[in-house]
Structures are given as structure tokens and as C-alpha cells.
Amino acid sequence: MADPMHDAPRASITGRALHVFAFPSLLIAACLTGFLPAAPAFAKKPPPPVLTAAAAAVPDSYSAAAAKEIFAEGGNAVDAAVAIAFTLAVTYPDAGNIGGGGFMTLYVDNKPYFLDYREVAPQGATKEMYLDDKGNVEPDASLVGYRAVGVPGTVDGMWEAQKRFGKLKWKQVLAPAIKYASDGFVVQPWLQKRHDYAARSFAGKTNFDVYFSGLKAGATFRQPELAETLKRIASDGGREFYEGRTADLISTAMYGHGLVSKQDLQRYHAVWRDPLTADWNGYQIVTAPPPSSGGVGLIQLLKMKADLKPAFDGVQLNSVPYIHLVSQMEDRVFADRQQYLGDPDSYKIPVAKLLDDSYLASRAAEVKADAAPGATGVKPGLGDTMPERAQTTHFSVVDQWGNAVSNTYTLNGPFGAGVVVDGAGFLLNDEMDDFVTKPGTTNQFGVTGDEVNTIAPGRRPLSSMAPTILLKDGNVALVIGTPGGSRIFTTIFQVMTDLFDFGMAPQDALAAMRFHHQLIPPTTIFYEPYAPITGDLADALKAKGYKLEGQPFNGDVQMVRVNGTTPEADSDPRGAGVGAVFPLSPSK
């Protein structure tokens, strides 16, 4: 199968209502069997478009083609998002998934929503499950193999979102993914490269190679078992994964190896939560609440920078003084992150206090142009209360009715725990590593945490994912997100700052150099392969007292910006993503 976005004409959107059934009795029967969204657009004329086009920024060309197909069938942003997510589970298996979890921030009919479909710890999990008898962390135990797996949330998340807001039939949104799994897709060189690296780390430990050794650049890669799994989910609904044959296959694979049981799957449910919202720079930010730290971190950074306007005045982007000021803000954000953030269903998380304007102004006032680098001494502020190792993926979608979806989801490490469910053909996550396996130790992203993020049955591990939507006067202005573990919200912060404080064009904002600092190690500035810190800048930062460390990770921002009524979709030049605009057909 050819790469479908290459040379493909851009899609037209019909904007038509979906006239699903001619016979009411069939409609009732279909609703009762759960094959339709709960509120099907039965013969209801859709509202007139408010944008000139739909648009999507996605991490690969196959998911762009899926979005095109769904919009051409009359789907909305939620239908397109669900189709993209299932497609990426096939064509982008290092992070796209049905065996992982994530977050979806939505803006539908002028209202913000947030869907948490993060994995949870199985009932058999314990606080010390990754420690040996001497109390030391067992290397790789929370990263590789069945014991690293949290109860997956993606399928229930997609099912909930599409049921609540989708216009098309559930089967329709799964169709592109089923086609790619059955007929195959042509593997791009970057995917083989990521595969080869992961295969080395999983060799002899998991069944990864049994399923993925055919992932070779230029070859057509087919996944027949995954195709059957997707077909079951398409015909029986999203709960099939948790209660049907797929659940049996997962629990059988786990038997004697891992902890996820049939009961864990049955009791799993995605959760609708209130999104975080905040006013900033004339915009309203809508972003991820706990169990993500991403939204809190992003808002803290943006607001502190606004408070520090006098200090930033005249400071050039990515100069030594700029990096020094931002690093001090990041010290404070990461100090709060490790102390206060975790699963809101287990602990009362002091979100309002962490985002309070006067609290942030007091934290910003501690940031000084002439401070010594290194945050030794920075404490949480509320008092005592690799080739790329980081792997997650993001996509941003808007439709012509002004609805938007910002979705970040993950297997955690690339290709997750490296284990494939025998007979079902999909990879499982290693999200248990996002818990604190032992207070004081760091996870694969080099961040630590406290009691609030320790392992407990049914608890969600703390995340950094921050799917974000920016509104201007109640209309979508920006949809943005990225993979990157603890780098996620510092990356989004930088791109938003480049766009709105420095007035850069979207492509320039995406291409600009990015850096990262996270309290530990105290004086280290991480730089990326795409735009490394070298030459005079490197020398000047070292002279100031910073250490520079390359990270094997770039970020892969996918964003849609809306100017007036015109959407523009842009993909990070660091990745293989596609920004696609799907204009309305002239007749609509």
C-alpha cells in the first residue's frame, strides 16, 4: 500500500448530516446494542460551518489520511480524533496504542471537556512491588515485561468520547485502522530505526520480535491479529476490550507473568473531569488537570513569565539571561510537581493553591536575573504539606463547526513494555514506571516524586501529558500538545511563548531551539539533537555555571492555529508528522 498522503489531493468536507437509518425500528435496535453513538445525529441538519475548513496535525501520514476520510464522511473533530487514535495504534506502534492510555481535551459546542483515560495500577499492585529484598529498585522491572503494565485505558477513552460527541457510527471510525492492520502499511525508515533500537532492549526478555521483526523500511507490514481485535471492538463496542474475548486474551497473557486480571479490566473506566482553565495574555487556556502535572506546570510557567515581564523586557529569546530566568521558573514548577501532584482520586491535590495568582506572583518574585544557577534550596512552595527513550504521541484536530480535540496518549516507553498480547496482536504499556517506585529515586525521565505518587491498587500514575486548547473570546485559537515525558509542558510553554510573546509564525515557533531544565540535576540544561546548544551560547552558559547535557529526545509538537475563521495545521519539523487542512467543498 502506498503512503496515502503523498500526492493525495486535499480532502473536501461535505458537512452533511449523516442519515443513518431509514427505519426507526432498526435505529432503536442499533442503539440498544450499543453500535451507535448515544446521541446519533438522526436526520438533524448540522449547524452551518464557522471555519473555512477542518484541520489536523498528526504524527504520521496514515493518520492524516484517516482524518481526511472521516471528515469526507461528515464526521466531526471527535470522530476524526478517534479514527486517528486507532490508526496510530496500527501505523505508529511505538506510541500509538490500544494497550496504553492518555488524555483528551475537547471543546465541543463552545464548552470545554476533559477525558482521563490514563492507565491504573492493577489490584495486585503494591507500593514496594519493584523493590528487591534489600529495598533497592530492581532495574527495568517497571519498564520491561508484563509486570510493568498498567490497566489500559485507550479503548474505553475512545469509546466514551465517540459515544458522547461523535456523529458517525463507531464502526466507521475504526474502519481506517482495520484497513491498515489487514492490508498493511509501508514502513518508513524512521519507524524501522525506532524499532531496531527497541528490539535490542527487549531481546530475550519479551515476545516483541515475534510480532515486530517484519517492521522493515519499505516493506508492507500487516498485523492480522490486531486486525481481528479491532474488528471485534468495532462490532461489539469499546467494552469488548474489557469484558469480551480481548479481555480473555489479555488476562491469559498475564497469567503467571503480570498483574492485570480480568477483574481489573472489567472495573476500568475512563473518567470525565473538569479541565483546568486559566486566563492568560487575553486567551483562555484549557488543559489537563491531575493526574497530569502537565496542565499545572504549563499554567505555572506561563503565568510566572507574565509576572516577570519587567525582568524579561528586552531579553532575547534563548539567550543566556532568558535561559537563566526560565530555568529558575522551572525549578519552582518541578519542586511543586514532585511534592503535590498525583492521582486526584487518591489525594486531595491543591490545584487551586498551585495556580493562585498571588502564589505564582510570589514564586515569580523569587526568580532573579543575578541568582546563582542551580536550584539547591528551592523547595515546594506551599510549605510542608536516549535514541528517544521518551515516547508518547499527540495530535490536534479542529472541525469546520469550531469543535476541537487535543489528544496525547502513550505506551510510556517506545513500544511500551515490549510485550504483545498473544492472539490479540497489540503492545502493552509500561506506565507503572510513572509512579514513584521508591521515594527519592528518579524514573526514566529523571524526575522524582513523593508519597502522593506511590503505587496503590487502582491509582493512576502521575503524568506530564498536557493536551491543551487556547480560546479567544470563546473560539478555538490554538490546539497544541507534544510527547516528551517531563519535557512536555516545558516544550508547550516554549512554543506558546515563541508564538505569542515573540510573535513568531507557527513554523518558526516550532523550529526554534528548545531547552529543558527540571530541578534535578540542579544546574543542568538539557538540549535537543535537532537544535543543540553549541558555540558561544554553550560557552556562555557554562561560564555562568550551568552544565549542558544532550538528551536523546526532541519533542514532536502537533498544533492547529485558527486565525479568524481559517485553520492552519503545523507539525514539528523534528518528526514525521503531517499538518493537513481539509477545505470545505465549494457546494457547501
Active site residues: 392
Evaluated on CA atoms 225, 188, 55, 529, the torsion sign reads positive
Residue 435 to residues 118, 146, 445, 452: CA-CA distances in angstroms?
A: 12, 16, 12, 9
Cβ closest to ligand GLY, residue 413 vs residue 567:
413
Which residue stretch of 55-63, 279-287, 420-428, 463-471 sits at the interface with ligand GLY (rule: CB under 6 A)?
Answer: 463-471
Of the candidates 472, 496, 486, 475, the one whose C-alpha atom is nearest the C-alpha of residue 306 is 496
How long is the chain? 588
* Strand 558-563 versus strand 475-481 pairing type: antiparallel
Cβ closest to ligand GLY, residue 403 vs residue 412:
412
Q: How far is the CB of 411 from ligand GLY (least distance, A)?
A: 8
Q: How far is the CB of 66 from ligand GLY (least distance, A)?
A: 24
453 in contact with ligand GLY (CB under 6 A): no
Alpha carbon dihedral 354, 463, 101, 488, in 10-degree steps, equals: 100
Check if the beta carbon of residue 153 is closer than 8 Å to that of residue 101: yes
In which order are the strands placed within the sheet that holds 393-398? 271-273, 111-117, 101-108, 404-410, 393-398, 53-58, 578-583
Cβ closest to ligand GLY, residue 201 vs residue 410:
410
Q: How many CA atoms lie within 13 A of 454 on its CB side?
A: 11
Q: Within positions 81 to 110, which residues make up the interface with ligand GLY, using CB under 6 A?
A: none
Q: Which residues pair with 111 in a beta bridge?
A: 108
| Residue nearest ligand GLY, Cβ-based | 463
Around Cβ 316, how many Cβ atoms within 10 Å?
9
Which residue stretch of 169-177, 305-313, 449-457, 458-466 sits at the interface with ligand GLY (rule: CB under 6 A)?
Answer: 458-466
Q: How far is the CB of 488 from ligand GLY (least distance, A)?
A: 6
Q: How far is the CB of 464 from ligand GLY (least distance, A)?
A: 4
Q: Within positions 391 to 450, which residues make up the interface with ligand GLY, using CB under 6 A?
A: 392, 410, 412, 434
Cβ closest to ligand GLY, residue 237 vs residue 294:
294
Q: Which member of 154, 223, 287, 463 binds ligand GLY (CB under 6 A)?
A: 463
Cβ closest to ligand GLY, residue 392 vs residue 403:
392
Q: How far apart are CA 123 and CA 136, in angstroms?
A: 23
Q: How far is the CB of 49 from ligand GLY (least distance, A)?
A: 35
Which residue stretch of 125-133, 145-153, 304-312, 461-469 sits at the interface with ligand GLY (rule: CB under 6 A)?
Answer: 461-469
Q: Which member of 287, 464, 491, 551 binds ligand GLY (CB under 6 A)?
A: 464
Which residue stretch of 13-21, 142-150, 459-467, 502-510 sits at the interface with ligand GLY (rule: CB under 6 A)?
Answer: 459-467
Which residue stretch of 41-49, 211-219, 239-247, 457-465 sits at the interface with ligand GLY (rule: CB under 6 A)?
Answer: 457-465
Residue 170 to residues 237, 239, 292, 557, 582: CA-CA distances in angstroms?
A: 8, 12, 28, 28, 22
- Provide the strand spans (E) within 148-199: 185-186
Q: How far is the CB of 453 from ligand GLY (least distance, A)?
A: 12
Q: How far is the CB of 154 from ligand GLY (least distance, A)?
A: 13
Q: How far is the CB of 181 from ligand GLY (least distance, A)?
A: 24
Check if the beta carbon of residue 325 is closer than 8 Å to that of residue 319: no
Check if the beta carbon of residue 306 is closer than 8 Å to that of residue 326: no
Size of residue set near ligand GLY by CB under 6 A: 8
Q: How far is the CB of 461 from ligand GLY (least distance, A)?
A: 7
Check if the beta carbon of residue 21 is closer than 8 Å to that of residue 30: yes
Cβ closest to ligand GLY, residue 97 vs residue 396:
97
Check if the beta carbon of residue 515 is closer than 8 Å to that of residue 533: yes
Q: How far is the CB of 432 from ligand GLY (least distance, A)?
A: 10
SS3 358: helix
Cβ closest to ligand GLY, residue 176 vs residue 295:
295
Spell out, one character per residue from 465 to 494, where the chain touches ligand GLY: x when CB under 6 A holds, - when not. Answer: x-------------------x---------
Q: How far is the CB of 409 from ligand GLY (least distance, A)?
A: 9
Cβ closest to ligand GLY, residue 251 vs residue 300:
300
Cβ closest to ligand GLY, residue 231 vs residue 389:
389
Cβ closest to ligand GLY, residue 240 vs residue 431:
431
Of the candidates 342, 423, 431, 468, the one whose C-alpha atom is nearest the C-alpha of residue 154 is 431
Check if the beta carbon of residue 569 is closer than 8 Å to that of residue 581: yes
List the grid coordinates of 108. Answer: 465541543
List the grid coordinates of 66. Answer: 484517516
Q: Which string of DSSP letters, residue by residue, matches 90-139? A: HH-TTT--SSSEEEEEEEETTEEEEEEE--B--TT--TTTTB-TTSPBPT
Q: Three-state SS string across 281-293, please? A: CCEEEEECCCCEC
Q: In terms of C-beta density within 10 A (0-12 exposed, 13-18 middle, 19 or more buried), how is residue 576 classed?
A: middle
Q: How far apart are CA 213 and CA 238, in angstroms?
A: 29
Cβ closest to ligand GLY, residue 64 vs residue 427:
427
The residue ranges that bind ligand GLY (CB under 6 A) are 392, 410, 412, 434, 463-465, 485
